[in-house]
Amino acid sequence: MRFTRLPAIEEPVLEPPYAGKPFFSATFQVLAVPHYWLAALHQALVFPLTALVTSIVWFTWLTSAVMLTLTPLWAGLAPFGDAVGPGADRLRGWNLGNFMAYIVTLGERADAGTTTATVIGFTALGLGLVALYPLVSRGLVWTHWGIDRLLLGRFRNEELRQELSRTESSRVAAVVAEDRSLRRLERDIHDGPQQRLLRLQLDLAAASRQLDTEPAAARALLDSSLVLARDTADELRALITGFAPPLLADRGLAAALEALAARTPGTVETEVRIPGPLPAEVERGAYFVAAKLLANAAKHAEAGRIRLTADVVDEPGRALMLSVADDGRGGAQFVEGHGLTGLAERVRGLGGAFEIASPVGGPTSARVTIPLPLGG
Amino acid sequence: MASVPAPSSLRVILAEDSVLLREGLVRVLGEAGFVPVAALEDATGIQDAVERHAPDVAVLDVRMPPTFRDEGIQAARALRRRFPRLGLLLLSQYVEATYARELLESGEGGIGYLLKDRIVALDDLGDAIRRVAAGGTVLDPQVVSELIATRRDPLTALTPRERDVLGLMAEGRSNSAIAARLMIGVGAVEKNVASIFTKLRLVDSGSEHRRVLAVLAFLQR
């Protein structure tokens, strides 16, 4: 099978039958696994039958091809013209060659012209069979491969399950990342705006009580309430901008990346080629990764020049490629709790890949690939 | 000076989707001596409404139905084409330098772009509406300060006073307004402006609008 260059048949995923199971279920559980039954069926019945049938086909085809191609030879050996005796006479000399000669000459009754035509026809037929032989042989191998795959290979749902467990791990990463940012948002709202609004109610209620008796104190409270309300609005705005940058929501990734680059201190060259809107989660993810990478480059790497590129590529699969390179001092590392780990997690959550090369002394270059749905 | 209601009683049309804010704005505009001629809940009918009510200024929210993206910016650009003399004031929860640039480039008429928070200060709101009605430019200080803050070269060539003047210029303030704000003479402001333009190699075209654009372009590069 290995020489056929057909795709390898994936082995079924079998759980270790005995591991940590009680004696009976360890013994009998095997009976419940369809793969074992199918293997037995294959071994006892299907394989011998298939082998028999295919070998018969193969042998018949090959012999017919050879015999027919060699028809001129048999025709030459035919003893026609003389010795038209009783059949018993010639029986002695009967072998494969004579048999063919007999057929070619239509039982020796044909004249020379008809015989020549028959010889040519048979030879052509033989050559045809020879020419088709590779196809037949391939077909037979396919038959074996197909049957084996059906009985011995993974079931379709097992392939799906494998695929699923790969997706699962990226989904878990996404959930973890999302959960973490939601918790942070909740804490930020609780510590900031929520406390300020409470204090605001407190102050306004006090001002209302003091309005008639101590107008000056009430006015002071109202003034400070105004400041408090403004601070709350500022804080909420900062929170929301950090969570969902308005330009990204309004104009999409390309515009948001350009604005991001313009906002980043230092010289940021951009090359953004994103045709049309991408899925919202990809745009958000890509934006945050770019923002973090640009901030790192500007803050930690002391980079003089930063280059941001974003591209949608079609090979090997449709994907968004994002890269941030700087000429700074490098040394960026994956450390638990460091921003890079979170970035990688976020990218993995989108089913993408995150690579960074940052030797001490620089330069640093980070590359993010996020797969995109086809035609999306 | 700005707290005195304008005797001309400028007519203002309003588009804002939040009822809470729309009612508040109508009240505040009336309080400031303006005439609110219509208050719409989105920008779809704004062209006809402007045609019918002939306001001096349109106050627009940036994010409005149906998509809650940049409807206000789009509406402002459409209004600018059809009513070149209409003053436009955009209000938003966020200010984006990108939008500021787009609005300024949309035409020569009066244009303003402010954080919604500014409506709390009645004087500031009234001042902005009057400047926009008069064909002036009003840019939120936050846009300007953000642009200045993220510059790699923090404008070290300029003196602190010149940096202040630059910021106020970018907000769209006239020389006399800058003078009043910084409590210096108009002559001193003019000297500072000339010095800034020389140091930054900008060309002062004279028009206030162009001046803001030139300064913004410089700050964004």
Domain ranges in chain B?
11-139, 144-220
Please tell me the predicted confidence (pLDDT) of residue A84: 43
Neighbours of B61 (CB within 10 A): 26
Nearest to A267 among B117, B152, B220 (CB): B152
Q: Is the ipTM of this complex over 0.85?
A: no
Please report the number of interchain residue pairs, chain A to chain B, with beta-carbon separation below 8 angstroms: 40
CATH homologous superfamily, domain A247-371: Histidine kinase-like ATPase, C-terminal domain (3.30.565.10)
Beta-carbon separation of A230 and B117 below 8 A: yes
Q: In which residue are the tokens 């954080």 written?
A: B115
d(CA A286, CA A281): 8
Beta-carbon separation of A234 and B117 below 8 A: yes
Q: In which residue are the tokens 């926009």 written?
A: B132
Model confidence at A197, pLDDT cuts 50, 70, 90, reads very high
Query: Does B98 contact chain A (CB < 8 Å)?
Result: yes
Please tell me the predicted confidence (pLDDT) of residue A179: 82
pLDDT higher for B34 or A10? B34
Query: Does B201 contact chain A (CB < 8 Å)?
Result: no
User: B11-139: which CATH number, 3.40.50.2300, 3.40.228.10, 3.40.50.12280, 3.40.50.300?
Assistant: 3.40.50.2300
d(CA B136, CA B185): 21
Element (H or E) spanning A41, and its range? Answer: helix A34-41
Contacts of A330 (CB under 8 A, 6+ apart): A301, A358, A359, A360, A361, A362, A363, A364
pLDDT higher for A303 or B26? B26
Q: In which residue are the tokens 């000429």 written?
A: A327
Please tell me the predicted confidence (pLDDT) of residue A316: 80
Q: Which CATH class, in words, describes the domain spanning A169-243? A: mainly alpha
Look at the alpha carbons of A94, A100, A105, A109 in this order and tell me if their dihedral is positive or negative.
positive
Question: Percent of chain A, pLDDT > 90?
Answer: 25
pTM: 0.67
Contacts of A345 (CB under 8 A, 6+ apart): A173, A176, A177
| Position A178 pLDDT exceeds 50 | yes
Please tell me the predicted confidence (pLDDT) of residue B3: 46
Strands B35-40 and B11-15, sheet pairing: parallel
Contacts of A184 (CB under 8 A, 6+ apart): none
Structure tokens at B195: 């010095």
Which residues of A are less than 8 Å from B96 in CB distance? Answer: 246-247, 259
Please tell me the predicted confidence (pLDDT) of residue A82: 44
The arithmetic mean of pLDDT across residues B101-110, rounded, is 88
Q: Please determine whether the domains at B11-139 and B144-220 fall in the same fold group of CATH.
A: no
Question: Percent of chain B, pLDDT > 90?
Answer: 63
| Position B17 pLDDT exceeds 90 | yes
Give the residue on A whose Cα is nearest the Cα of B99.
A247
Structure tokens at B142: 């936050």
Give the residue on B whose Cα is nearest the Cα of A298.
B152
Please tell me the predicted confidence (pLDDT) of residue A123: 85
Just give the CATH number of B144-220: 1.10.10.10
Which residues of B are less than 8 Å from A251 in CB distance? Answer: 69-70, 98
Nearest to B98 among A237, A247, A249 (CB): A247
Which residues of A are less than 8 Å from B152 in CB distance? Answer: 265-267
| Position B45 pLDDT exceeds 90 | yes
Model confidence at B1, pLDDT cuts 50, 70, 90, reads very low
Which of B164, B219, B216 has the alpha carbon at shortest distance from A265? B219
Beta-carbon separation of B151 and A265 below 8 A: yes
Which residues of B are less than 8 Å from A267 in CB distance? Answer: 152
Query: Does A226 contact chain B (CB < 8 Å)?
Result: yes
Q: Could you read off the pLDDT of A219-259 as tens digits, one per residue? A: 999 999 999 999 999 899 888 887 778 899 899 999 999 98
Which of B220, B21, B95, B17 has the alpha carbon at shortest distance from A245? B95
| Position B35 pLDDT exceeds 90 | yes
| Position A58 pLDDT exceeds 80 | yes
Report DSSP state, residue A38.
H
Please tell me the predicted confidence (pLDDT) of residue A2: 59
Which of A240, A239, A245 has the alpha carbon at shortest distance from A284? A245
Which of B140, B138, B188 has the alpha carbon at shortest distance from B162? B188
Q: What are phi and psi of A317, to 5 degrees?
A: -130, 165
Test the A interface: residue of B20, B61, B93 with most A CBs within 10 Å: B93
Q: Could you read off the pLDDT of A80-96 as tens digits, one per residue? A: 444 444 444 444 455 66
Beta-carbon separation of A262 and B220 below 8 A: yes
Which residues of B are less than 8 Å from A235 in CB distance? Answer: none
Which residues of A are less than 8 Å from B64 in CB distance? Answer: none
Test the B interface: residue of A223, A250, A269, A302 with most B CBs within 10 Å: A250
The arithmetic mean of pLDDT across residues B185-211, rounded, is 87
Q: Could you read off the pLDDT of A115-158 as tens digits, one per residue? A: 778 788 888 888 888 888 888 888 888 888 888 888 887 777 77
The arithmetic mean of pLDDT across residues B38-49, rounded, is 95
Please tell me the predicted confidence (pLDDT) of residue A336: 54
The arithmetic mean of pLDDT across residues A89-114, rounded, is 65
Which of B200, B141, B142, B206 has the alpha carbon at shortest distance from B175? B206
Q: Could you read off the pLDDT of A253-297 as tens digits, one per residue? A: 999 999 889 888 878 899 999 988 999 889 999 999 999 899 888
Nearest to A255 among B94, B98, B120 (CB): B98
Beta-carbon separation of B117 and A265 below 8 A: no
| Position B52 pLDDT exceeds 70 | yes
Averaged pLDDT score across all residues of chain A: 82
Domain boundaries of chain A, sorted by first residue:
2-154, 169-243, 247-371
